[in-house]
Chain A
Amino acid sequence: MSFDRAAAARHWRISILSRGGLTVGEVDELEDHLEQVEERLLEHLQPEEAFWVAAHRVGTPEVLTREFALVRPNFGWELRAQWALIGLLASWLWVPLARAMLNLLAAIVAQIPPVAGVAAVVVLYGSPLAYVLALVLAVVVVRRLGALPTGIDRAVEYLAANPRPGLLLAAVGVVA
């Protein structure tokens, strides 16, 4: 049976990330390191052996999580707090955002004479069907931009690594 390196690397990443102590960027950096250790080992070892020895040298998920936790004991809470704030923001902004998109949609529809009447209907009966429509539109936009899931992942990671902009965003949300 041949060694599936990509699968092994994926599993390695997940086993670290699932412990919740490291960000995606930190695991990216560790993976870069792993590859370099591996490359050197390939001179003497078979690919599968090189991978596992390198993974062991870089550190087991338990050890890495523990060592990172030593330098930032509050990380888990910070991450949870960021998620809570993002959720809160989303719940606050959702209705005004949906209404704005709805009006935009209505304005576009109003430009087409045969269906101009639909615009009025859309605005008049603005919920809940219209909100579903707006949600679908939002999902399409996000998909088009390729922002799911790694984009959001990285945005969260950025916020976790830089608490100030995250708090600023939360403050803006509270004021709004």
Chain B
Amino acid sequence: MTNVLPSKELVAASSRPLVLAVLARGEDYGYALLREVERLSGGALSWQEGMLYPVLHRLEREGLIASTWRVAETGRRRKYYAITKRGQEALAAERATWEAVSATLRNAWGAT
């Protein structure tokens, strides 16, 4: 795994499809979601802990995810997020875009 960290802009842009993709596999809460992104990226992509929440807030406002408060096993209230139908559609669109970018880059690199 490379040590080059992606730019701030790239991290911000990729946070949207990443959150949607993780939630598409099942509902989750903030902390676990962040650890899962870290694991998926092999440590190459690390978000600042608190920065995830504005992203979740924006996605919820757009109706792509929905949240519910539940009581965790520790007795503490915890907020869980789940993807909505609209979120799944948005994820499919995001996926198409990112795959197109990725394919273009691969072609460009392969051609040189």
Given contacts A32-B77, A37-B31, contact A59 B49 (CB under 8 A): yes
Residues on A with beta carbons closer than 8 Å to the beta carbon of B57: 26, 68, 71-72
How far, in whole Å, are A76 and B55 apart by their CA atoms in the complex? 18
Q: Report A-chain residues with C-beta under 8 Å of the C-beta of B29.
A: 32
The chain A residue sitting closest to B12, CB to CB, is: A70
Q: How far is the CB of A123 from chain B (nearest CB, A)?
A: 45
CA distance A71 to B57 in the complex (A): 8
Query: Which of chain A's residues has its CB closest to B56's CB?
Result: A29
Q: For the complex formed, measure the closest distance between the CB of B24 and the CB atoms of chain A, giving whole angstroms.
A: 21
How many Å lie between the Cα of A25 and that of B67 in the bound state?
A: 12
**Contact indicator per residue, chain A 5-40, by CB within 8 Å of chain B (1) or not (0):** 000000000000000000001101110110111000
Residue A58 is within 8 A (CB to CB) of chain B in the complex: yes
Task: Give chain B's interface secondary structure class.
Answer: helix
B30→A29 contact, CB < 8 A: yes
Contacts of A67 in B (CB 8 A): 50-51, 54
Contact-residue bracket for chain B: 10 to 19
Q: Which residues of A contact B54 (CB under 8 A)?
A: 67-68, 70-71
Docked pose: A37 CA to B48 CA in angstroms: 12
Q: Are A58 and B76 in contact (CB under 8 A)?
A: no
By a CB distance below 8 angstroms, the chain B residues around A26 are: 53, 57
How many A-B residue pairs have C-beta atoms within 8 angstroms? Tell me.
Answer: 57
Q: Which residues of B (38-87) have their CB < 8 Å from a CB of A? A: 48-51, 53-55, 57-58, 61, 69, 72, 76-79
Knowing A71-B58, A72-B61 touch, does A29 contact B49 (C-beta < 8 A)?
A: no
Partner of B76, one of A25, A32, A71, A72: A32
B90 to A: closest C-beta gap in Å: 16
- Partner of A58 from B49, B55, B58, B79 at Cβ < 8 Å: B49
CA A63 to CA B51, docked complex, whole Å: 9
A57 within 8 A of B: yes
Residue of B nearest to A37 (CB): B49
Interface residues of chain A, those whose CB is within 8 Å of chain B, are: 25-26, 28-30, 32-33, 35-37, 57-59, 63-64, 67-68, 70-72
Measuring CB to CB, which residues of chain B are less than 8 angstroms from any residue of chain A? 29-31, 48-51, 53-55, 57-58, 61, 69, 72, 76-79
Give 15 CB contacts A-B under 8 Å. Answer: A25-B79, A26-B53, A28-B79, A29-B30, A32-B29, A32-B72, A32-B76, A33-B31, A35-B76, A36-B31, A58-B49, A64-B50, A68-B57, A71-B61, A72-B61
